[in-house]
A and B are shown apart, each in its own frame.
Chain A
Amino acid sequence: DQQVKQNSPSLSVQEGRISILNCDYTNSMFDYFLWYKKYPAEGPTFLISISSIKDKNEDGRFTVFLNKSAKHLSLHIVPSQPGDSAVYFCAAISRKKETSGSRLTFGEGTQLTVNP
């Protein structure tokens, strides 16, 4: 049962335009969501997060939007830069669960390519 899904395996955009990466989840217990960025041959690095009590969080060029009723979140990157080319993973966690071992559930990832 895939509780976090990223339905687009890849996305290609032009430099300077907006990149929108999407993520859907099914578990209504999730209350905190994160995006990670991964370059080849490196570990994922944290990018941005959002709590379920918010619907938007912004950090520079990166904004995450959360629609709880639709169980959907999206990551907007604007303007996109060639250095943003990487795999982006969406992740979710329920902080209320005492026995989860602080376990994140990840999506499949989306390969973003930003063309110069």
Chain B
Amino acid sequence: DVKVTQSSRYLVKRTGEKVFLECVQDMDHENMFWYRQDPGLGLRLIYFSYDVKMKEKGDIPEGYSVSREKKERFSLILESASTNQTSMYLCATYTNYGYTFGSGTRLTVV
């Protein structure tokens, strides 16, 4: 089975801090995604990548950037965290016409 690992389950950060969320997959898949989940808004795509050093903006990229230096690792960066970025962040990789998700990172910005 594909394993997608997000480095932190819970994070608390201060406004203005630079935040790194890390995601690692173990199956050499090309396509990786970052979503955030908010009640009533579903899963919204922030960024995705279909190869090393390749990235595409999703629906809500503002305030975020990403890095994909190695195929197995896709990092989401909050350049200057704000309280409206408090959310559940989910990483996924694409497998057999579907996604495998990581366990999620619950980020709180205070």
Contact = CB atoms under 8 A, between A and B. Distances in A.
A, B in one complex: yes
A45 B101 contact: yes
Interface string A89-109: 101010100000111101111
Contacts, number: 59
B interface, size bucket: 20 to 34
B31 A102 contact: yes
A34 interface: yes
B99 interface: yes
Contact of B41 (A42, A44, A102, A108): A108
B43 to A, nearest CB: 4
Interface in A63-116: 89, 91, 93, 95, 101-104, 106-109
Nearest to B97: A32
A34 B4 CA distance: 19
B106 A41 contact: yes
Shortest 7 CB-CB contacts between residues of A and residues of B:
A43-B101, A108-B42, A102-B94, A106-B43, A101-B50, A102-B31, A43-B104
